[in-house]
Structure 1
Amino acid sequence: MARKLDDVLERMGDCDSLAQLEAAVVDLRDRYDVEHLVYHCVKAGGEQWAALTYSKRWVDIYVERDFQTIDPVVLSCFRRFTPVDWKRLNWSGRPARMLLAESIAHGLGNQGYSLPIRGPAGQFALFTVNNKAGDDSWARFTRAHMDDLLLAAHYVNERALAIEGAGGEGAPSLSPRERDALTMLAAGRSRAQAAERLKISEHTLRVYIESARHKLGALNTTHAVANALARGLIGL
Structure 2
Amino acid sequence: MSRRSLDQTLEITRSIDRARSPADIAEALLFTGARFGFERVLAGTMPAPGSTRSQQLAHVLLADWPDEWARRYFSHGYLFADPAIRRVRAVGGPFLWSELELDCAEDAAARRVMNEAGEFGLRAGFTVPLAMLDGAVAGFSLAGERVELPPAMRGALTLIGSYAVARCVQLASPVDAARRRPPRLSPRETEALQWAAEGRTEGEIAEAMGISEHGVDKHMRVARRKLGTRNRTHAVAEAIRLGLVR
2:158 is matched with: 150
Does residue 84 (structure 1) correspond to residue 88 (structure 2)? The answer is no
Does residue 20 (structure 1) correspond to residue 28 (structure 2)? The answer is no
Distance in 2 of aligned mates of 1:97 and 1:35: 22
| Identical columns (%) | 17
Query: TM-score normalised to the size of structure 2?
Result: 0.57
Q: What's the CA shift string for 1:11-44, capped at 9, x where partnerless?
A: 1111233332233233233354423332223478
Distance in 2 of aligned mates of 1:87 and 1:108: 12
Partner SS for 1:151: helix
Contact 1:26 1:53 in 2 (8 A): no
What is the Cα deviation at residue 164 of structure 1? 1.9
1:112 is matched with: 125
Partner SS for 1:10: helix
**Cα pair distance change 1:160/1:83, threshold 3 Å:** same
The runs of 5 or more residues in structure 2 that have no matched partner are: 176-246
Which among 60, 71, 74 is matched to residue 85 of structure 2? 74
Q: Which has the higher contact order (CA 8 A, sep 6+)?
A: 2
The runs of 5 or more residues in structure 1 that have no matched partner are: 168-236
Contact 2:42 2:63 in 1 (8 A): yes
Contact 1:25 1:52 in 2 (8 A): no
Equivalences for 1:156-195 in 2 at 5 Å? 156-165=164-173
Which among 53, 62, 66 is matched to residue 64 of structure 2? 53
Query: TM-score normalised to the size of structure 1?
Result: 0.59
**Cα pair distance change 1:123/1:43, threshold 3 Å:** farther
Equivalences for 1:189-208 in 2 at 5 Å? none
**Cα pair distance change 1:152/1:70, threshold 3 Å:** same
What's the Cα RMSD here?
A: 2.7
2:224 is matched with: none
Aligned length: 161
What is the Cα deviation at residue 67 of structure 1? 0.2
Does residue 29 (structure 1) correspond to residue 42 (structure 2)? The answer is no
Contact 2:62 2:168 in 1 (8 A): no
